[in-house]
Structure 1
């Protein structure tokens, strides 16, 4: 299968001022991954699998690299922007590589990268409407869905918002539940395919028991806006889904951190604060920001690596 590059190729173009990702193309799949290209001898390495958080956007050293140094074992970083679990199921050669290593660190990825009856994700966040074939971002796709089931305009705005905070439109709620069921099934299929021990890794500014936006924290699913419905990364995913897949893994590490977040973006050439133009990643991202207010900061990457290290060291002892 040809590699889909709309995310990763855009990351380097967008982020060149801050980080050189040393991108390389994998010969077997055509996909582009963060470098430097690893030198893997025999099976003496481990694999990190995930999305942009594992890739390490805006971070000179993502957690796979930090962890590799801490435990003294080479790493294969298969972080791919916008990926969900079903993305990796499309590439058996990547799974073969996971199975040749000693163990796998598997990130809890977003729920919005999963397909359902309305949208085909291809395992990525950029969706295709099944009825029209139009390609659209997940934010726009679900925002349109919410608007199709809006409450009557005759209702006072504050009342409409309050109702949607607690009671979602039944068709939207059903589609979200279908999406989450598919997400769990994709993780189960991926875990069945991975024959080596798996450490499931959660990294977020929120606990899986809570939902969160830039200004609020809550414990139920809201439907008053697409941002509220998704919540902070990993979008849509809560404790129930995490528990379902964590029970099938050798270990589970939960890193909830806001250290260094949001991250002021500084040019590696001048040392000066330099805003990022997000349209260099994708044309539908038309905004400029002085901060990374989405991806884990370098300090958050350090926190996850520190939590993973003792777990992985114990697995290495048991595998020796």
Structure 2
């Protein structure tokens, strides 16, 4: 394993990469002997801008080692395609999987970065034909791209939305099969008004994922942990307790603070203790 400054707003020694992995995950990366609980997810699971993310806080509550495989700005594609991360997750007694949005998935309309799934790489010929008036060189992030396409034509955007729904369901089913169903889904729900500020017209986080979609995949695992109101640090008045650089404040404002991570850890631990 190796360590480096990830720019994720945490101490350098708290970010590492498993041997053979391309993803920088939250440390420490000393994988314990089984049984242990593995946590998969994006920036919230990683614990961006906080000293102690909820996987670390859950460990003493569940009485088992917890391995944080969360990766900032990642999505289902980056997790599924990283053999080292999946190998550690597959060896876990239980996996807690944060539900990620559908916007950060490569699909028939566009490609995303293989590791930073929030980054838009290129449109397909199908998308270029669907939106001939759009200059796609102007876009670097999937949210900006999709919000613009939605604003230009909600009717045409419905085709992209449908494709993203199908791809998200496919990736989730693949991930659940790879982990042999030993997965508890974690749904971190932000208030609608907060999601509108961050995600524009794409709805609440996780973006473009509905309860019906979650209901369709939850049966392939061990159930669902729902945290119904996730408060961002700025909303909760916790910015002084966050760890971020001068240019990272706008991003830190929208991430959960220490108190929210504590609440999530308690919800997760409660469910894991129920499972035994």
| TM norm structure 2 | 0.82
Deviation at residue 144 of structure 1 after TM alignment: 3.5
Larger Rg: 1
Superimposed CA distance per residue, residues 177-218 of structure 1 (whole angstroms, 9 cap, x where no aligned partner)? 111110111000110110252111111224xxxxx13397xx
Q: Cα–Cα, structure 1 residues 260 and 227, in superposed 2: closer, same or farther, change >3 Å?
A: closer
Structure 2: unaligned runs, 5 residues or longer:
129-135
Matched, 1:23 2:12: no
User: 1:266 is matched with which residue?
Assistant: 240
Indicate whether 1:213 and 2:193 are aligned.
yes
Q: 1:136-151, aligned counterparts within 5 Å?
A: 136-149=140-153
> 1:202 aligned to 2:198?
no
Which position in structure 2 is the counterpart of 1:302?
262
Out of 201, 210, 232, which is 1:238 matched to?
A: 210
Q: How does 1:1-320 map to 2 (within 5 A)?
A: 9-11=6-8, 15=9, 22-41=14-33, 43-121=34-112, 122=114, 124-131=117-124, 136-149=140-153, 169-195=154-180, 197-206=182-191, 212-214=192-194, 227-259=199-231, 261-262=233-234, 263-266=237-240, 276-278=246-248, 288-289=249-250, 292-315=252-275, 317=276
Contact 1:265-1:276 within 8 A present in 2 as well: no
- Counterpart-to-counterpart distance in 1, 2:199 and 2:182: 35
Q: CA deviation at 1:297?
A: 2.0
CA contact (8 A) 2:6 2:12 kept: no
- Quick one: structure 1 residues 21 and 246, their matched pair in 2 at CA, closer, same or farther if it must change by over 3 Å? farther
Q: Which moved more, 1:182-191 or 1:81-90?
A: 81-90
Report the secondary structure of 2:20's partner residue: coil
CA displacement 1:14-42 (0-9 Å, x = unmatched): x25xx55621222121322111223412x
State the distance in 1 between where 2:152 and 2:232 align.
39
Deviations 1:206-253 (A, max 9, x none): 4xxxxx13397xxxxxxxx99442233211112111111212111211
TM superposition shift of 1:176: 0.9
Higher helix share: 2
Supply the distance in 2 between the matched residues of 1:202 and 1:268 (Cα, whole angstroms).
23
- Structure 1 residue ranges (4+ consecutive) displaced by more than 6 angstroms after TM superposition: none
Matched residue SS, 2:140: strand
TM-aligned CA distance change 1:78 to 1:256, over 3 Å: same
Q: Secondary structure at the match of 1:54?
A: helix
* Contact 1:61–1:298 (CA under 8 A) maintained in structure 2: yes
Deviation at 1:258, TM superposition (A): 4.2
Using the size of structure 1 for normalisation, the TM-score is 0.72
Q: SS at 1:302's partner residue?
A: helix
* Gapped regions of structure 1 (runs ≥ 5): 150-168, 207-211, 217-224, 279-287
- Superposed CA RMSD: 3.0
- Provide the residue aligned with 1:281 in structure 2: none
Matched residue count? 259
